[in-house]
Structure 1
Amino acid sequence: MSLSLYRPKQAWASLRKKPGFVSTVVTTMGITLGALLCILTLAYVLIVKPLPYPEQEHLYRVESGFLDAGQKPVGRAFTYPGLIHLYQNQSAFEQSALLSYGNDVLTSLPERPSMNTLFVTPEWFPLLGAKMALGRSFEQTEALETHHPVAILSFDTWQREYGGRADILSQKVSFSGTSFNIVGVLSEDFIEPQLYETGLSSQVLMPWDFNESSEWQRRAWGNISDSQLFIGKLAPTISAGQAQQMITPLMNDTWQENVAGSDFFAGWSLRTEVNSLQAVLLGDNRETVYMLLAGVIGLVLIACANIANLFMSRTAEQQRQLAIHAAVGASKKQLFKTLFAESGLLMAQASLLALAIALGGFEIMQHFLAQQLPRVDELNINGFTLFCALTIALLLAYLFARLSANMINYRVLNATLQSSGKGTGIQVSQKVRQLLITSQVAIVTALVFVNISLFKDAVATIDKPVGFETDNIATLVLAGATATQPSEEERKAIMQELTAEFSRLPQIQAVSQSPSPLNGFGILAQVVTATNERLVVQTKHVDETYFELINQSLLEGRTFTDAEIRDEVDLLVVNEVYARHLAGDKSPLGMQITFSEEPATIVGVVKGMTIPGRSEVPMRAYRTNSRASMRLMFKLKPGQEISRRQAVEVIAGVTGQYNLFELAPLNDRRDQLLFTQYTTAVTSAVLALLTFFLAAIGLYGILSYGTQMRRFEIGTRLAIGAKRRDLIAMVIKDNSPALATGIITGMILLLALYLGFPEEIEGYIRIQLIPVFALTLGLIATISWFACYWPLRQFINRPAVYSLRGSD
Structure 2
Amino acid sequence: MVLTMGITTAGFLIVLTLGYFLLFKPLPYAEQDKLYLIDYQRWDQHKVLQSAAILHPAAEHLYQQLQQSAQDTASQQALLYFTNEVLASEPAQPRLANAYVTPELAELLSIKMAVGNWFGHDYRPGSFNTGAVISYQAWQQLFQQRHDILTLRLNVNGVSHPIIGVLDKAFVAPQLTEIGQEPQLWLPWDYNNSPFQGSWWLTDDKIFLLLKLEQSRLQKLSTELTPIVNEYYQQHIIAHDNFRNWQVVLEGRPLRDALIADNEKTLLLLVLGAAGLLLLALLLSGLAVRSINYRQLSHALQGSGKGTDVQVSPAIRKSLVVAQVSIATLLIFFSALLVQDSIAKLNRSLGFDSQHILQIEFDIATLDWQGWDHYAPQVAGLGEQLRLRPDVEQLSFAYSPLADLYQLAITDMANDRRYYPWHRNVDHHYFSVVGQRLLFGNTFTRDDLGSDKVVIIDQAFAELLTGADIAKAIGQSLKMDAATAPMTVIGVVENLQLPGKHIAPPRFYLPNYGTALWMLVKLKPDTELNRESMIELLHSLNPQFILTRFNLLDTSIAQANFPHRVRLIAAISLALFTIFLACIGLFGIMHYSVQIRSIEFSIKLAVGAQYHHIVKDSIREYLTMLILGIGLATLIALTSLVIFYDWLIPYLSWHSLLLYAVTLLIILVTLTLSNLMPLRSFRTISISNKLRGLYETS
TM bracket (short chain):
0.7 to 0.9
Does structure 1 residue 270 correspond to structure 2 residue 248?
yes
Q: Equivalences for 1:224-235 in 2 at 5 Å? A: 224-235=203-214
CA contact (8 A) 2:218 2:252 kept: no
| Structure 2 counterpart of 1:43 | 19
For residue 292 of structure 1, report the CA deviation from its aligned partner.
2.6
The CA distance in 2 between the partners of 1:461 and 1:239, in whole Å, is 43
1:97 deviation in Å? 1.7
Residue 512 (structure 2) pairs with residue 625 (structure 1): yes
1:571 maps to a residue whose letter is V
* 3-state SS, counterpart of residue 87 of structure 1: helix
Deviations 1:229-270 (A, max 9, x none): 222134453465x65544433322221122223334323333
Alpha-carbon distance in 2 for matches of 1:466, 1:700: 45
Aligned to 2:85: 104
The one-letter amino acid paired with 2:492 is: V
1:278/1:168 CA distance change after superposition, 3 Å: same
SS at match of 2:473: coil
Partner residue in 1 for 2:235: 257
What is the SS of the residue equivalent to 2:271?
helix
Cα distance change on mapping 1:708 and 1:259 into 2, 3 Å? closer
Provide the residue aligned with 2:261 in structure 1.
283
**Correspondence 1:85 to 2:61:** yes
Contact 2:452 2:510 in 1 (8 A): no
**Taking structure 1 as reference, are residues 411 and 442 closer, same or farther at Cα in structure 2, changes over 3 Å only?**
same
Q: Amino acid of the residue matched to residue 534 of structure 2?
A: A
Cα separation, partners in 2 of 1:219 and 1:651, compared to 1, 3 Å: closer
Matched, 1:514 2:514: no
Q: TM-score, normalised by structure 1?
A: 0.75
Deviation at 1:304, TM superposition (A): 8.8
RMSD, aligned α-carbons: 4.0
Assess if the C-alpha contact under 8 Å between 1:80 and 1:220 holds in 2: yes
| Paired residue secondary structure (2:583) | helix
Tell me which residue corresponds to 1:343.
none
Paired with 1:281 and 1:795, the residues of 2 have a C-alpha distance of 62
SS in 2 for 1:219: coil
2:168 to 187, 193, 216: 187
Question: Which residue of the other structure, out of 264, 267, 271, is the alignment partner of 1:293?
Answer: 271
Is 1:123 the counterpart of 2:123 in the alignment?
no
Do the aligned partners of 2:300 and 2:307 also contact (CA within 8 Å) in 1? no
1:456 to 340, 345, 370: 340
CA contact (8 A) 1:570 1:624 kept: no
Pick one of 580, 598, 601 that aligns with 1:693: 580
For 2:372, the aligned partner's letter is E
The question of whether the paired residues in 2 share the 8 Å contact of 1:305 and 1:436 is answered with no
Q: Sort the Cα spacing of 1:403 and 1:116 in 2 relative to 1 into closer, same or farther, 3 A.
A: farther
**Residues 466-492 of structure 1: CA distance to partner in whole angstroms, max 9, x if unpaired?**
222222222111122445456534533
Kindly tell me: are residues 534 and 97 of structure 1, through their superposed partners in 2, closer, same or farther at Cα, counting changes over 3 Å?
farther
Distance 1:298 1:81, change over 3 A: closer
Find the partner of 2:494 among 597, 607, 611: 607
Aligned-pair distance for 1:518? 0.4
CA contact (8 A) 2:158 2:544 kept: no
Contact preservation (8 Å) 1:157, 1:203? yes
Query: Residue 578 of structure 1 aligns to which amino acid in structure 2?
Result: F
Give the drift of 1:542.
0.6
8 Å contact 2:452–2:487 — kept in the other structure?
Answer: no
Secondary structure of the residue that 2:63 maps to in structure 1? helix
Cα distance in 2 for partners of 1:249, 1:763 equals: 43
Matched residues in 2 for 1:556 and 1:736: separation? 58
Match status 1:196 vs 2:177: yes
Asked if 1:58 corresponds to 2:39, the answer is no
Contact 2:307/2:693 (<8 A) preserved: no
Partner of 1:367: none
Residue 722 of structure 1 corresponds to: 609
Match of 2:479 among 584, 593, 616: 593
**1:248 counterpart residue number:** 226
1:749, 1:40 → 2: CA distance? Answer: 29
Letter in 2 for 1:228: I
Superposed displacement of residue 194, structure 1 = 1.9
Structure 1 residue 758: deviation in Å?
A: 8.6
Q: Cα–Cα, structure 1 residues 580 and 709, in superposed 2: closer, same or farther, change >3 Å?
A: closer
Alignment check: 8 A CA contact 1:477 1:631 kept: yes
CA distance in 2, matches of 1:756, 1:692: 26
Using a 3 Å threshold, how does the CA distance of structure 1 residues 757 and 212 change in structure 2: closer, same or farther? farther
**Equivalent in the alignment of 1:493:** 377
Q: Is the 8 A contact 2:291 2:312 kept in 1?
A: no
How much has 1:426 moved relative to structure 2?
A: 7.9
How many Å separate the matches in 2 of 1:234 and 1:755? 48
Question: Aligned runs of 1:311-390 on 2, under 5 Å?
Answer: none
**Cα 1:535–1:149, aligned 2, differ >3 Å: closer, same or farther?**
farther
Map of 1:579 onto structure 2: 462
8 Å CA contact 1:557, 1:589 repeated in 2 = no
Compared with structure 1, are the counterparts of its residues 702 and 428 closer, same or farther at alpha carbon in structure 2 (3 Å cutoff)? farther
Q: Which amino acid aligns with 1:604?
A: G
State the SS of the aligned residue for 2:253. strand
Superposed CA offset, 1:564-590 (max 9, x none): 33x666532222333344566533526
**Partner Cα distance (1:544, 1:773) in 2:** 49
Moved more, 171-180 or 714-723: 714-723
Letter in 1 for 2:244: A
TM-score relative to the length of structure 2:
0.85
Aligned to 1:383: none
Per-residue Cα deviation, 1:532-581 (whole angstroms, up to 9, x for no partner): 7665432121111111121212223222112433x666532222333344
Distance in 1, Cα, partners of 2:322 & 2:27:
43
Give 5+ residue unaligned stretches, structure 2.
none
Gap change, CA 1:447 and 1:291, over 3 Å in 2:
farther
**Equivalences for residues 451-490 of structure 1 within 5 A:** 451-485=335-369, 487-490=371-374
When residues 498 and 408 of structure 1 are mapped into structure 2, their CA distance, relative to the original with a 3 A threshold, is farther
| Deviation for aligned residue 1:427 | 8.0
Output aligned runs, 1:405-804, within 5 Å.
Answer: 416=304, 423=306, 429=312, 437=321, 440-441=324-325, 443-485=327-369, 487-519=371-403, 521-526=405-410, 536-565=420-449, 571-582=454-465, 586-589=472-475, 591-594=477-480, 596-599=482-485, 601-602=487-488, 603-735=490-622, 764=651, 769-795=656-682
Greater displacement, 734-743 / 541-550:
734-743
C-alpha separation between the residues in 2 aligned to 1:444 and 1:291? Answer: 20
- 1:580–1:31 Cα change, 3 Å: closer
Partner SS for 2:97: strand
Task: Measure, in 1, the Cα distance between the counterparts of 2:346 and 2:491.
Answer: 29
Name the SS for the 1:731 alignment partner: helix
* Pairs aligned (count): 685
The 2-side partners of 1:648 and 1:407 are apart by 87
Matched to 2:197, the amino acid is R
* Partners of 1:509 and 1:118 in 2: CA distance: 37
